[in-house]
Structure 1
Amino acid sequence: MSRTRRHRNIRATQLFIIFAGVTVLVWVLRGLGLLTFLPGGILWILILLSVITGIWSRFQR
């Protein structure tokens, strides 16, 4: 595996972890009532970004 390809795979995995972590954090804080001002569409966008980056990370391998 070339160095550039490995670097892209690591970057894709890092993006997935970041998006998934932010999504879980927003979901939990919204459930606790701390982020009730955020519309539900924001949460759906974060979930969609997590799924897309997860699939992208998987296909980079």
Structure 2
Amino acid sequence: MSQSSKLNRLLIQGFGIFLGIAIAVWVLRGFGILTFLPGGIIILFLLTAIIMGVLSYIQKTWWRF
């Protein structure tokens, strides 16, 4: 397995993890369970997931090492 495919797999896994955490926190906050967390935390998780997804796409298509 090449180094770029390992990096791409890590980026995709990170994307899924951060997106899952953001959705879980958003739903739990909507139910009133995690009301003490500010909304900025959800936005931070979503932005991190988006950045990791974009980096994964760029790494897969442009960095063909």
TM-score by length of 2: 0.85
* Structure 1 runs, 4 residues or longer, greater than 6 Å off: none
Provide the residue aligned with 2:38 in structure 1.
Answer: 39
Distance 1:42 1:5 in 2: 30
**Count of residue pairs brought into register by the alignment:** 60
Identity of aligned residues (%): 43
In 1, distance between residues paired with 2:16 and 2:56?
10
Runs of 5+ consecutive residues of structure 2 not aligned to the other structure: 61-65
Q: How far is 1:57 from its partner?
A: 1.3
- Could you tell me the TM-score, scaled by structure 1's length? 0.90
Cα distance in 2 for partners of 1:43, 1:21 equals 11
- Aligned residue for 1:60, secondary structure, equals helix
**Cα distance, 1:54 vs. partner?**
1.1
* Structure-2 residue corresponding to 1:13: 12
Q: Which runs of 5+ in 1 are unaligned?
A: none
